[in-house]
Structure formats: C-alpha cells, structure tokens
C-alpha cells in the first residue's frame, strides 16, 4: 500500500510563493459624469448598466463601453 501524497509547502523565499493580488476595483460611473477615452476622446456618461457597461456620448457618436472600462477614465 502506497502512502498518500502530501502537498509540498513552498520555501519562504521561493519565487513561486507569490501572494494573491486582488484585481483593481471597477470604477463607478453615474449619468452626467465627464469621461475621457483613449480612442474616442472626451465625453459625457448618459446611461449606466450597473457593473456591466456605460453609454457615453462623445459628441459625434455614442458608444456602449463594457466593464472594466480599460480605456475610460472618469474626469
């Protein structure tokens, strides 16, 4: 009969012993917020789908930008 395998513990100074880093918080927008997008420029948030997407009016066009809003910054 074989003994059960015991998981090995990494050494305290091991490069594989990396602490888990939580993902950055998703920025919260409300209707009326001003925002800047890397591709589309300056705009105003006109609608919010909670933690899903925002609808932003950039003057010439309106775009729906999905969370986590990688290129959208609140001003």
Residue with tokens 């395998």: 5
Distance CA 37, CA 58 (A): 9
If you average pLDDT over residues 25-53, what whole number do you get? 93
- Whether 31 and 47 have beta carbons less than 8 Å apart is answered as yes
Preceding omega of 68 cis (within 30 degrees of 0): yes
**Residue 54, phi-psi category: left (phi > 0), alpha (psi -120 to 50), beta (remainder):** beta
**pLDDT (tens digit per residue) in 42-66:** 999 999 998 899 999 999 999 999 9
Residue with tokens 């800047």: 36
Average pLDDT taken over every residue of the chain:
88
Query: pTM of this prediction?
Result: 0.68
pLDDT of 1 above 70: no
């Amino acid at each position: 009969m074989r003994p059960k395998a015991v998981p090995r513990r990494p050494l305290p100074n091991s490069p594989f012993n990396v602490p888990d880093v939580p993902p950055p918080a998703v920025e919260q927008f409300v209707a009326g917020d001003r925002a800047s997008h890397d591709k589309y420029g300056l705009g105003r948030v006109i609608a919010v789908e909670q933690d899903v997407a925002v609808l932003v009016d950039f003057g010439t066009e309106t775009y729906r930008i999905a969370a986590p809003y990688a290129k959208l910054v609140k001003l």
